[in-house]
Amino acid sequence: MASSSRLISRLALVTGGGSGIGQAVCQRFASEGATVVVADLNQDAAEETVDALQRGQKGQRGQIGQGHMAGQVDVSSKDSVKKLITQIQTRYFQPPSVCVNAAGITQDNFLLSLEEEEFDKVIQVNLKGTFLVTQAVAQALVACGASKGSIINMGSIVGKVGNLGQANYSASKAGVEGLTRTAAKELSKFGIRCNCVLPGFITTPMTDSVPDKVINKLLTLVPLGRMGEPAEVADVCAFLASDDSRYITGTSIEVTGGLFIG
């Protein structure tokens, strides 16, 4: 059960907040008192998430984040990211002290058939996008003299172990882990923590197209015997966003149901 107050007074930016894990993170953060900027390439999806947050808060004591905002962003574009950060600072007079980089795509194909464009696009969104948003948020926090911040990057267990048909996705998520560790070392002197969350097989729109027989085969590899839920990844993000994790930086937390233990 969510603590109702861990994230009070926090301004949180969540990319990819229009669906899946990003949307679940927005819901969890709002339930703990944060004001949430829901950013997504799909403006309508971002606005729908904000509407849901506002509806959920009516009459629910504890959901006290105020003035959630929807923003359109292409995380692979530096100009688009800078525009979003400017919009946030113009509205709230401060940069986000919490950032979750959950925007991501897949374009699966076997290595022998993978097109260069398919490789490049996944790297641009998943890895370059995480870099651009992390850099922009960190620059804004340092510029305003903030004494602390928490940046949470969405990796994947396949970044560690690989996965058939996902050379591009695996490479991008391995890169996210390396980026997170380096950012943690460089930004710690400014009080900014950087951590990575590694989901396993999670039920999201990304997995809706996977055939049932493939899902069933994958589940034989998961000791807990089921797919994870986006809310279970959001739980870990809320912990990393809060002061409960104040002595944790540069680490990766697997949310996999025990997949690939050892």
Residues assigned a catalytic role = 169
Compute CA 143 distance to the chain's CA centroid, rounded to the nearest angstrom.
Answer: 23
Q: Which two tokens stand for residue 57?
A: 């808060």
Measure Cα distances from 150 to 13, 24, 54, 98, 147 in Å.
Answer: 11, 18, 24, 5, 11
Phi then psi dihedrals of residue 11, to 5 deg: -105, 120
Distance (Å, whole) CA 185 – CA 194: 9
| Maximum pairwise Cα distance, the chain | 55
Q: 160 burial class (0-12, 13-18, 19+ CB within 10 angstroms)? A: middle
